Amino acid sequence: MAEIKDSIIDELLIESKNNVSYLVPLLARFAGVCATSNQNQIKHYTGLISQVCLIWETEHPEVEGIRMLNEGMANYYLARFKAVIEPCRKALCILENSTYTDLYGVGLMVYGAAHRSLGELDTAVEYLLKGTENISLASELAIYHCYCFYQLAEINVHIKDFETAEKNYNRAIEISEDLNLTSGLFRAYNGIANLYLATKDLEKCKQYLDLSLSISNLSSAEKGRSYCDLGIYYFEKGDCQNSETTLRKSYQLRIDSSLRDAASTSLLNLAKTQLASGQVNEALVSLEEALEICLEFQSKSKMLLCYHLLAKTYDKLGEWEKSTIAFKEYDELQNELTTKQLQNIYKLKNEQIEKQKALVEKAHREITDSIAYAKRIQSAILPPNRIVKDYLNNSFVLYKPKDVVAGDFYWMHKSNNKVLFAAADCTGHGVPGALVSVVCNNALNRSVREYSLTDPAKILDKTREIVIEEFDKSDEEVKDGMDIALCSIDGFTLSYAGANNPLWIVINGEVLETKADKQPIGKYATNQPFTSHQFDLQKGDTIYLFSDGYPDQFGGPKGKKYKSRNFKSFLISIQNESMDKQHDLLLKEFESWKGNLEQIDDVCVIGVRV
What b-and-e string marks burial along 414-424, b requiring 16 or more CB atoms within 10 Å of the CB? eeeebbbbbbb
H helix or E strand, kind and range, residue 543: strand 542-546
Instruction: Give per-residue pLDDT as tens, 298-343.
Output: 877 788 889 999 999 999 999 999 999 988 988 887 776 555 565 6
Confidence of residue 1 (pLDDT cuts 50, 70, 90): very low
Distance CA 173, CA 189 (A): 7
Question: Where are the chain's structural domains?
Answer: 219-336, 383-609
CA distances from residue 437 to 349, 374, 379, 421, 547 in whole angstroms, order as listed: 45, 12, 11, 15, 13
Contact (Cβ atoms closer than 8 angstroms) between residue 552 and residue 579:
no
Three-state SS annotation for 98-131:
CCCHHHHHHHHHHHHHHHHHCCCHHHHHHHHHHH
Tell me how far apart the 2 most distant CA atoms of the chain are, in Å. Answer: 111
In this prediction, residue 513 carries a pLDDT of 96
d(CA 209, CA 222): 12
Under DSSP, is residue 436 helix (H, G, I), strand (E, B) or coil?
helix
**pLDDT computed for residue 2 by the predictor:** 38
Contacts of 510 (CB under 8 A, 6+ apart): 572
Q: Is 244 helix (H, G, I), strand (E, B) or coil?
A: helix
Fold match between domain 219-336 and domain 383-609 = no
- In the beta sheet, which residues pair with residue 397? 606
pLDDT at 429: 67
422 within 8 A of 485, measured Cβ to Cβ: yes
Q: How many Å apart are CA 10 and CA 45, to the nearest integer?
A: 9
CB count within 10 Å of CB 351 equals 12
Closest CA to 547 of 401, 435, 418: 401
Contact 288, 107 (CB under 8 A): no
Q: Is the pLDDT of residue 568 over 90?
A: yes
- Residues paired with 396 in a beta bridge: 607
Of 119, 133, 127, whose CA–CA distance to 89 is shortest?
Answer: 127
Residue 469 neighbours by CB distance under 10 Å: 10
Q: What percent of the chain has pLDDT over 90?
A: 58
Question: Pick from 74, 75, 1: which is nearest to 31 by CA?
Answer: 74
Average pLDDT on 231-249 reads: 93
Q: Is residue 52 a contact partner of residue 16, using CB atoms and an 8 Å limit?
A: yes
pLDDT in tens, 456-487: 999 999 999 999 988 887 666 667 889 999 99
Instruction: Provide the 8-state DSSP code for 500.
Output: B
- pLDDT tops 60 at residue 87: yes
**Report field, pTM of the whole predicted structure over 0.75:** no
Answer CATH for 383-609 from 2.120.10.80, 3.90.550.10, 3.60.40.10, 3.40.605.10: 3.60.40.10
Least confident of 2-6, 131-135, 477-481, 485-489: 2-6
Average pLDDT over residues 381-390: 90
DSSP structural state of residue 3: G
181-233: pLDDT as tens digits: 888 898 899 999 989 988 999 999 999 999 988 887 787 888 888 899 899 99
> Class for domain 219-336, per CATH?
mainly alpha
